[in-house]
Structure 1
Amino acid sequence: MGTPLDSGTRTREDDRTARVALMRMAEAGDPVMGRLIAWCGPRQALEQVRRGSLDPDFATKENELAERSRRRSDLARLVAAWAARYTDPDADLALGRERGARLIIPGDSEWPTQLDDLGDARPFGLWLDGQANLRFACLRSVAIVGARAATPYGVQVAAQLGSELSIRGWTVVSGGAYGIDAAAHRGALAGGSPTVVTLACGVDECYPRAHEDLFRVVRSQGVVVSEWPPGAHPTRPRFLVRNRVIAALSRGTIVVQAAARSGALNTATHAAGLNRHLMAVPGPITAVTSEGCHMLIRSGKAVCVTSHEEVIDLVGSIGADLAPERRGPIRPRDELNDETRRVLEAVPARGGAGPAVIAVAAGVDLTTAIGCLGGLAAAGFVEPVARGWRLRRQADLQGRGDHAR
């Protein structure tokens, strides 16, 4: 007779097997399937779908929900479509093991609990391939997304942000696509922290094909993630569906470049809906690839960021990850008091002027002017000449700035 622990382990594995089957039958993010699993658990959900008959109470609630949201509901047709896609889950599990992938489901130690924020659209499970622990990697993570047809400016910014965030222990999450995604992953790999590639196909597939080498390195240092079973191919809708996972895994999303209509803006919408920090990098106003970023900033949906410090200031711990205040270079003349600075401004760059003339121009008395001139001479700002005082050459170039005469 089995022990309670044995029974619990078997139940857990049965749930896992049922979820594998459901991941084939329903498209990722299907809210109806999500509600059905929440209603009765994965094993009962699979049993009901395979027999083609849902719990009457669940069906009634679904129809009421559809009426309230003014959408058409045809549960019978939906269940029939699910049932038609049933395949042996053991075959998927065997294929996953053969190709080095592992499956995690809600409740597993590696499951990132922030995915639960997706509610009915929470993944039924995730296939992983890589050395990093997904939950630990995403405790401090930032998503970097943007245009596939990125400009050199966008690629540079994405790589720099990815590298600098990674150096400071932040995981970069993105979609592994051309352009901004790939640059962010490569930057993160250079920084030494894990990076997470979220795919719209099986973790054993390489899409785009040209990123085979990139994904190989990611698997050794980070992890590749997918809601679709091994062997699944990408489709256009799946790219949009997976964007919600990119947003949910991260504390915040940075849009580096995006056109007015862009998949990156879809990720941004998910991030905002999940109450994650949304950030955008500004670009040239003449660039089509910056239109989406500027729209987000102008509408107040995204915070303008220009450095990793500003990103960490938003997504990091309150009081511990503040960005340093930006200011221009400090010049020697910045240390002068107001009177001395006025006297310095009154000294001519050419020729020369006596102390009385300088005092009048500076608005101070003669004694003060003479005292200030002595101090300025000792500091190397001015020098005595036959006609009085003038600026030293280096002071004229460095001390006066835009106001040099």
Structure 2
Amino acid sequence: MARNIGSRYTAHQILGRGSAGTVWAGEGPEGPVAIKLLREDLASDQELVGRFVQERTALLGLDHPRIVGVRDLVVDGNDLALVMDLVRGTDLRTRLDRERRLAPQAAVAIIADVADALAVAHAAGIVHRDVKPENILLDMEGPLGPAGSHPALLTDFGVAKLIDTPRRTRASRIIGTPDYLAPEIVEGLPPRAAVDIYALATVLYELLAGFTPFGGGHPGAVLRRHVTETVVPLPGIPDELWQLINQCLAKAPASRLRASEVGARLRELQPMLAGMPPLDVDEPDAEPQAEPYEDETPAAPGEVRRRGAVPLVPGAAPADSNRDTHTSMRVPAPDELAGGARGTARAPRTPGQRRPGSARHKSDTVRKRRIVLGVAGVVVAAALGVGGWLAASGGDSEVSPRDSQQSVPAEP
């Protein structure tokens, strides 16, 4: 059912829903648009509306081929909406769901495009704060790049900042998506441009490996890993590419590259990645799911929880998609962050290999121990049987004392 958004736009079809609001395909004076209509409770927050209007000039000024342009911001009664370009394609999360991981050259081409978008935003003083596959759109109508990759565009600028107002979130809370949060955010520091670089490197790692370097399990465990653990190298990629990823995942924000440097260096590496197939690694075993994290809603029976944001493109997700744009979490206390193991993160495995400490690895270890103990038990039983036979014979056998005193070596 169509509805008017302000006096200039008409929304025709719901593309998706998220925690921040609903995305519609619509029409405006200049043609098709995507309209992100924020929730009514957000629209009724006068402080947020004020911030929304203040951000208008900056968001409208973000003009770059790799940025989904914001055409207008609408404040009309209970309607609070961002009007954006409508991209004909899909989001990067949907492609990952289909392919699991990408060829290195294609992954690098996509991230280089997003780095260009971030360079423009950072130069304008805007931090995205929510870089992740759901917010990276692939333009299926654009020219193909290296390894057949479609042009990538970054969307949802300003949404994280609009939601993260002083009245809506306290200093003791985190707004973001756990897998992509920079450690300084976890520690409660204000977000700077370097948080986008950390998230971008996390996405690149995910495109190559099929999983994020610090994800898996309870959100609190994910946050702790960002602060206390170091990333594990990915096997099978050039050292130059790994060094770039590693530097962008540095715990110290000042040690990370700038967005413009990331884009330039990735394009320099593209020729050496030509023809390289997707990596053949298995995801580390997931940790057991703990209790819901404070205000997290428990999953319904059979429900599969997915992280991420609503795509702004037709057909990328069902209309009733339940992907969250952001997750609100408590900032872990210093003792909680210090409680984690200070080592490397979950290591990727070659296919079929068990991760040390995983449930399946422990199961294999227990099975091996049972086999060893079973063999030892047979040997001991046999020895006891010999001793019993000797006792029953009254010592008349010709077995020498030395033979009868032999002991069974203990199994390690």
Please confirm whether the aligned pair reaches a TM-score higher than 0.5, indicating the same fold: no
TM-score (norm 1): 0.31
| Structure with bigger gyration radius | 1
Which has more helix, going by share of residues? 1
TM-score (norm 2): 0.30
- Larger RCO, structures 1/2 (Cα 8 Å, 6+ apart): 2
